[in-house]
Amino acid sequence: MDYMKETIDSLHKKLADKELTSEELTNQTLDNINAKQKDLNTFITVNDKAVEAAKKVDEDGIKGPLSGIPIAIKDNIVTNGIKTTAASKILYNFMPVYSATVMEKLEAAGAIDAGKTNLDEFAMGSSTETSYYKTSVNPWDFSRVPGGSSGGSAAAVAAGEVVAALGTDTGGSIRQPSAFNGIFGIKPTYGRVSRWGVIAFASSLDQVGVMSKRVEDSATVLATIAGHDDHDSTSSNEPVPDYRANLNKDMTGVKIAVPKEFWHEGTHPDVVESTKKALDAYKKMGATVEEVSLPTLKHAVEVYYVLASSEASSNLQRYDGVRYGYRAKDVKNINDLFVNSRSEGFGDEVKRRIMLGTFALSAGAYDAYFKKAAQVRTMFIEELSAVLDKYDLIMGPSTTSPAFKIGEKVDDPLAMYMNDILTIPANLAGLPAASVPAGLAEGLPVGLQIIGKPFAEQAVLNAAYALQEENKFYEKIPTALKGED
Amino acid sequence: MISKEEILHVAKLANLKLQDDEVDDFVSQLGQIVEMEGNLADVDTTGVEPTYNMGDTNTVFREDKGIHTQTREQMLENVPETDNNLIKVPTIVDKEDDE
């Protein structure tokens, strides 16, 4: 099965009409994934129990829209009985004994777990290059990164391996790879989706979200995974709308703010042009577009790297070689066990973040870094909130450039971190945000970023849907795949 | 700027052991990143409350009722070394300390 021209609705129809069984669909999906692995490397683990699960769905009968449809899962979301590594050596053999709430919800809806997609180690990175296992590639140009950290999920969707995939987004890890691969991706409001069973990176920023070629498919999956969970006290009681049924492309009277600081210096001219073209399209649809200012934005990367690294250094203390994961050999005492397991199990980028965070939290640096960053975060939240009091949506480019070359930035952490400048704001303020394809820059996809008010996922989805129906980007086949068929 | 001594101190706090070349890399890379983060000093944050948590911070109460999740066997499935259904680790107290 090649999902280039399929949607959840079209597949559901075939399954419900018995034109196709879930078993057949799942077999075809896995064959296609396995055939493309050598070029794309999108998966760490293909789920060898998927066909079994599909047979069961066939026996029980096709029910809701996701029933019998394979979905790819980022490998930092734990799946009962399916290896979950977070792309780290330290979890090379970790076999979860329970599933994340999002997985239980997908399973209850009859969705099939196609397998676990590649990411940057512990979701720390923007290219999948920090994965211990493999670097995924961009289906538009095999010499380029798919972005990250949800790069495997994004490339798998763009290449037609699955119709939708779950990702996680701490500083842009859904939106940046979505932009780089020419697909749609949404990070919901902080608290919209349960994080139970999602391997923690930075707990005040992490959210689970969805990636798909078409907005309507993400709407269906998001409505399935959203909602309160007793296991996650940060998950909200806010009711979950039927995002799919409520999709509406009417932009009449919608007020759009464009922060002038989003036109970051050094932004690729074609990115600027595609973004402006999208904004013009919204004007023609009856929306108003006005420039605003977010003066504190220039400090967003600084705030993010202090806070995210600090939270990561705390969250990653649990990896000590005692209860699960990699355990160092030939150690004499318990302290060597901790230190050697961690030093041998973590990769360079993860060590870098742990070091940065430990530094920011250490006596003598705490007030100047950790507390200071948390204060600037408050100022930034207030700035964004003031804009969203007057406007419905904030828009701008998702990234400053299209996908970069594999190897181009891997040795320059600072350049890699600056990549996140446009996506970090929504995480710092906990706002829902999406990236929707807006055009091409030198033949590579460009994403428009849409940020909404808290719990206004519907408004974000609707705006993305309006642009999708205008430019029909989903009809484009990624360049590097064209020669293959 | 961040010194070699600081890097070694932070590594110790983080339970990480760095190779010599890693120490040199970290001195230069972390130095640059910390310098970038130091720009935060330019922001006047007098009287601004820090944001440490997101979402509803209301305390949630629930009935104190036990629920079954995993069994002991399941919880031990991923443990690298077990003995009699217990987690096995190397010596916790060094022999010399005993004497």
Measured at the alpha carbon of residue A381, what is the angle toward residues A377 and A387, in degrees to the nearest 5? 145
B27-77 residue pLDDT tens: 999 999 999 999 999 999 999 999 999 876 667 788 899 888 889 999 999
Instruction: For residue A440, count CB atoms less than 10 angstroms from its CB and return exposed for 0-12, middle for 13-18, buried for 19 or more.
Output: middle
Q: Is the Cβ pair B80, A324 closer than 8 Å? A: yes
Query: Residue B98: what pLDDT?
Result: 46
Chains A, B: CB contacts under 8 A, how many? Answer: 166
User: Minimal Cα–Cα distance from A353 to chain B, Å?
Assistant: 9
Cβ of residue A368 closer than 8 Å to a chain B Cβ: yes
Say what the pLDDT of residue B97 is.
52
pLDDT of residue A88: 98
Q: Is A455 on the interface with B (CB under 8 A)?
A: no
B51–A331 CB contact, under 8 Å: no
- Residue A333 to residue B90, Cβ atoms within 8 A: yes
- What pLDDT is stored for residue B50 in this prediction? 97
Residue of chain A nearest B32, judged by CA positions:
A414
- Which residues of A are part of the catalytic machinery? 74, 149, 173
Determine the residue of chain B that is closest to A319 in CA distance.
B15
| DSSP string for residues in A44-76 | EEE-TTHHHHHHHHHHH---STTTT-EEEEETT
Which residues of chain B have a CB within 8 Å of the CB of A323?
78-79, 87
Exposed/middle/buried for residue A80 (C-beta within 10 Å: 0-12, 13-18, 19+): middle
CB-based contact B48 A233, cutoff 8 Å? no
CA distances from residue A453 to A10, A14, A90, A437 in whole angstroms, order as listed: 31, 37, 38, 21
Of the partner residues B9, B32, B53, the one whose CB lies closest to the CB of residue A414: B32
Confidence of residue B94 (pLDDT cuts 50, 70, 90): low
Chain-chain contact of A379 with B36 (C-beta, under 8 angstroms): no
Nearest CA to A319 out of A99, A86, A131 is that of A86
Question: Which residue among B26, B36, B52 sits closest to A355, beta carbon to beta carbon?
Answer: B26
User: Which of B6, B33, B45 has its CB closest to that of A376?
Assistant: B45
Can you give the pTM of this predicted structure? Answer: 0.97
Residues of A in contact with B13 (CB under 8 A): 358, 362
Q: DSSP H helical segments within A101-202, as ranges?
A: 101-108, 151-158, 175-181
Backbone angles phi, psi at A75, to 5 degrees: -80, 20
Angle at A421 between CA A416 and CA A427, to 5 degrees: 110
Burial class from Cβ neighbours inside 10 Å (0-12, 13-18, 19+) for residue A2 reads middle
Q: Is A94 on the interface with B (CB under 8 A)?
A: yes
Q: What is the pLDDT of residue B57?
A: 60
What count of other Cβ atoms lies within 10 Å of the Cβ of residue B94? Answer: 12
Token pair for A147 = 């972005």
Residues written for chain A:
485
Minimum-distance CB partner of B14 among A204, A313, A333? A313
Instruction: Please list the alpha-helical segments (H only) found in chain B.
Output: 4-13, 20-37, 72-76, 95-98
Neighbours of A151 (CB within 10 A): 36
What ranges in A346-412 are assigned the alpha helix state H? 348-361, 372-390
The answer to whether the Cβ–Cβ distance between B16 and A334 falls below 8 Å is: no
* Contact between residue B35 and residue A364 where contact means Cβ atoms under 8 Å apart: no
- The domain locations on chain A are 3-248+400-484
Amino acid at B35: E
Question: pLDDT (tens digit, 0 to 9) for every residue of chain A, 485 residues total?
Answer: 778 899 999 999 999 999 999 999 999 999 999 999 999 999 999 999 999 999 999 999 999 999 999 999 999 999 999 999 999 999 999 999 999 999 999 999 999 999 999 999 999 999 999 999 999 999 999 999 999 999 999 999 999 999 999 999 999 999 999 999 999 999 999 999 999 999 999 999 999 999 999 999 999 999 999 999 999 989 999 999 999 999 999 999 999 999 999 998 889 999 999 999 999 999 999 999 999 999 999 999 999 999 999 999 999 999 999 999 999 999 999 999 999 999 999 999 999 999 999 999 999 999 999 999 999 999 999 999 999 999 999 999 999 999 999 999 888 888 888 888 999 999 999 999 999 999 999 999 999 999 999 999 999 999 999 999 999 999 999 999 986 54
Nearest CA in chain A to B44: A376
> CA-CA distance, A22 to A15, in Å (whole number)?
7
B16 contacts A343? CB cut-off 8 A? yes
Residue A356: name the closest of A413, A424, A423 by CA: A413
Q: Which pLDDT tens digit goes with each residue over A7-59?
A: 999 999 999 999 999 999 999 999 999 999 999 999 999 999 999 999 999 99
Q: Which of A396, A452, A391 is nearest to A426 (CA)?
A: A452
| Residue entry with tokens 């998927």 | A50
Q: How far, in Å, CA of A373 to CA of A71, rounded?
A: 37
To the nearest whole angstrom, how far is the Cα of A110 from the nearest Cα of chain B? 22
The answer to whether B92 contacts A333, with C-beta atoms less than 8 Å apart, is yes
Distance from CA of A448 to the nearest CA of B (A): 26
Residue A248's contacts (CB-CB under 8 Å, 6 or more residues apart) are: A462, A465
CB nearest to A98's CB, from B14, B56, B70: B70
Which whole-number Å values give the CA distances from A225 to A155, A220, A243, A398, B57, in the listed order?
21, 9, 12, 24, 22
Instruction: Identify whether the C-beta of residue A266 lies closer than 8 Å to the C-beta of residue A233.
Output: no
What's the ipTM? Answer: 0.92
Name chain B contacts of A351, Cβ cutoff 8 Å: 16, 18, 22
Instruction: Enumerate residues 6+ apart whose C-beta is below 8 A from A43.
Output: A33, A37, A72, A115, A116, A117, A118, A152, A156
Contact B30 A359 (CB under 8 A): yes
| Chain B residue at shortest CA distance from A84 | B78
Q: A448 with A176: CB under 8 angstroms?
A: no
Residues A373, B26: C-beta atoms closer than 8 Å: no
- Which residues does chain A have within 8 Å of residue B86's beta carbon, measured at their own beta carbons? none
Residue B89 falls in which region: left (phi positive, over 0), alpha (psi -120 to 50) or beta: beta
Task: Identify which of A205, A343, A359 has the shortest CB distance to residue B34.
Answer: A359
Which residue of A375, A411, A424, A428 is the best one to mutate when testing the B interface, meaning the one whose CB has the most B CBs within 10 A?
A: A375
Lookup: tokens for A24: 């057949």
Q: Does domain A3-248+400-484 have CATH number 3.40.50.300?
A: no
C-alpha pair distances (Å), A36 with each of A112, A135, A279, A453: 19, 14, 36, 39
Q: Assess whether the previous peptide bond of A149 is cis (omega < 30° from 0).
A: yes
In SS3 terms, A391-405 reads as CCEEEEECCCCCCCE
What's the Cα-to-Cα distance from B27 to each of A392, B8, B20, B34, B36, rounded to whole Å?
Answer: 45, 10, 11, 10, 14
Query: Which residues of chain A neighbour B75 with C-beta distances below 8 Å?
Result: 97
Å between B99 CA and nearest CA of chain A: 17
pLDDT higher than 50, residue B99: no
| Residues 217 through 246 of chain A touching chain B, CB cutoff 8 Å | 230, 233-236
